[in-house]
Amino acid sequence: MVKVVIAGATGRMGHALIESVLNDADCVLHGAIDREGSPQLGRDVGEQFGRITQVQLTCDINTALKGADVLIDFTRPEASMRYLEHCRALNIKHVIGTTGFSDAQRTSIEEAAKEIAIVFAPNMSVGVNLLINLVEQAAKVLHEGYDIEVVEMHHRHKVDAPSGTALRLGEAAALGLGQQLKDCAVYAREGVTGERKTGTIGFATMRGGDVVGDHTVVLAGVGERIELTHKASSRATFAQGALRAAKFLSNHDDGLFDMRDVLGLR
């Protein structure tokens, strides 16, 4: 049994993760963490599902992690950095689904992976990770005469843009073109922008309502347009992918992995 701790346990994603762990025969809920001041601190986290788990919500990271195998973390970059340091000190494996990291924070994750095993992916969905592979292949084939745009929409509460998944799709498209995304990305258009530059990858971001996550990569040529789309209707798909990642880490002591490693798509 994989002993799992959930960070951000009272959030929307935290709820989905806890429910998935409670219903998984290969995992056991070992701990649950939330911010200081949460009104639910000290309560059994299974109450919301009509179950008694003997796991009480805590803001003490070390208490929650003691004796655990893996921490699953879909929070915010600053919180994830704190969790990372605790995991590193306690030799706990770390599944990171948080997005919006700076380059320096990404470097910290890479350094930590020399000591502990980490799955770091902006999207844990099986379907999205298959889409990433398809986008790279499509860009390789359609590298001449086609313009690439990445369009994404999320709920009104999302704080980073473009989404981590959109950026990952852009990276896959750039790789297919033999480029680095930083050299060809266009993140905003306003006013008189002039004609579209050949070889660029554009991004469009929408926010509103309760949209879980929609992503489309458009490859527009003359006389035809290919659209590769993934739409998530439930956070359960991300939770299930995160549990697959947690189980994958059972066979690794250190190293940095993503969902393509977990799913055998490399």
d(CA 23, CA 27): 8
pLDDT over 80 (residue 239): yes
Taking residues 234-244, report their average pLDDT. 93
d(CA 139, CA 93): 34
CA dihedral 93, 95, 98, 104 (to 10 degrees): 40
pLDDT tens digits, 124-140: 998 999 999 999 999 99
Active site residue 158: yes
Residues 45, 14, 258, 107, CA torsion sign: negative
Topology alike, domains 2-120+235-263 and 126-232: no
Read off the tokens for 212: 């879980």
pLDDT tens digits, 55-81: 999 999 999 999 999 999 999 999 999
Task: Name residues whose C-beta falls within 8 Å of residue 173's C-beta, 6 or more positions apart in sequence.
Answer: 135, 136, 138, 139, 148, 150, 181, 201, 217
DSSP SS3 for 211 = coil
pLDDT tens digits, 105-163: 999 999 999 999 999 998 899 899 999 999 999 999 999 999 999 999 999 999 999 99
Residues 3, 86, 158, 252: which is the catalytic one? 158
d(CA 172, CA 198): 17
Residues 154, 155, 230, 231: which is the catalytic one? 154
Residues β-bridged to residue 185: 201
d(CA 51, CA 6): 17
Question: Which pLDDT score is estimated for 51?
Answer: 86
DSSP SS3 for 216 = strand
pLDDT tens digits, 23-62: 999 999 999 999 898 888 989 998 888 888 999 999 999 9
Active site residue 197: no
Taking residues 204-218, report their average pLDDT. 97
Read off the tokens for 9: 């346990």
Q: Where are the domains of the chain?
A: 2-120+235-263, 126-232
Q: Which CATH number fits domain 2-120+235-263: 3.40.640.10, 3.90.480.10, 3.40.50.720, 1.10.287.110?
A: 3.40.50.720
Is the preceding omega at residue 122 within 30 degrees of 0, hence cis? no
Architecture of domain 126-232: 2-Layer Sandwich (3.30)
Write phi, then psi, for 240 (nearest 5 degrees): -65, -40
